Structure 1
Amino acid sequence: MHSPDHNQSSLTLHLPDEAATSGLGRHLAPALAPGVVVWLDGDLGTGKTTLVRSLLRACGHAGPVKSPTYTLVEIYVISRIYWYHFDFYRFNFPEEFLDAGLGEYFRDDAICLVEWPEKAAEYGPAPDLVVRFQFAEPGRTLEFVACSEKGQECLNMLKSGLPDAAD
């Protein structure tokens, strides 16, 4: 499995409720550019799909946004940018990533959001940005870790767009 470089910079935010998670998605959306791979890491129910939904809404998607738990990938095309939302939760073996032909989705004209990336182990692409979700009553804590130059650019843009971001 690709391991994020822990020497990169990070940002940790506490989000007290679903509305705060949605608000964060609106701030994160403009920071993501085609070619970026974002790992969404966290337990069931921590807000991964909620964040994806708010990202897509911020970009103009008005239709439904559902978890790709059973479909493996949900595809959205917004302003000629492909957004791929993956969920590898149901993988029994990492090779299922290859068997499903999912590697072809990770392209320079796409933004890829990946839930349960560890289930694809070394077969999935390395992240540019990792978002770790953890329950923290009330709400949740999100830690953003930049793992590449593109990820660092996303993180810098996110930090500059938040009213009171703290490292």
Structure 2
Amino acid sequence: MALRNAVLAALIEGESSGYDLAKGFDASVANFWMTTPQQLYRELDRMAAEGLIETRVVQQERRPNKRLHSLTPAGWEALRTFTAEPPKPTAIRDELMVKVQAMDVGDGAAVRAAVAERKEWAEAKLARYERLRARLLDGRTEHAYLLEAEHVGPYLTLLRGISFEQENLRWSELAIAVIDRRLHAHHS
């Protein structure tokens, strides 16, 4: 999938600066599409050149001018075309899982540290996702939000991110407990 489809999808809610898009990617889209701010800015330039987005410059006092991007009719059309295509199957390449697979003949303590780091990542992402959920709900129940909101796609992807990180957390805790028993057994 091209980065542009994720950018088009991120602009559904309205115009946004590259900076805010990069921040938003980090908070929401990053659970299913990784990118760097540099890649994002390059893609925005290409999308503008192809007429998928338009940019207006907002003058700011005592700060650099802000460039706000929004979808053009061609951008909306590209997004509709993209959603109609069948998705490619997900390919997971998780280096940590390869290390865990080989940990019995490798450095168990180093693998444990890597799993512990994954656990901390999951906790941090969960906290961020919960803040994002609270901001989207804005005091409403989930039921009310899903009935009233203009767009429910971002909320559904957020729920997927939350369950993914909850599972990362559950698995990490189990793996750490098993590795700890093993490391202590070998030292006694």
TM-score under structure 1 normalisation?
0.28
Structure with the bigger percentage of helix? 2
Structure with the bigger percentage of strand? 1
Between Structure 1 and Structure 2, whose CA radius of gyration is higher? 2
TM-score under structure 2 normalisation?
0.26
Greater RCO structure (CA 8 Å; 6+ sep): 1
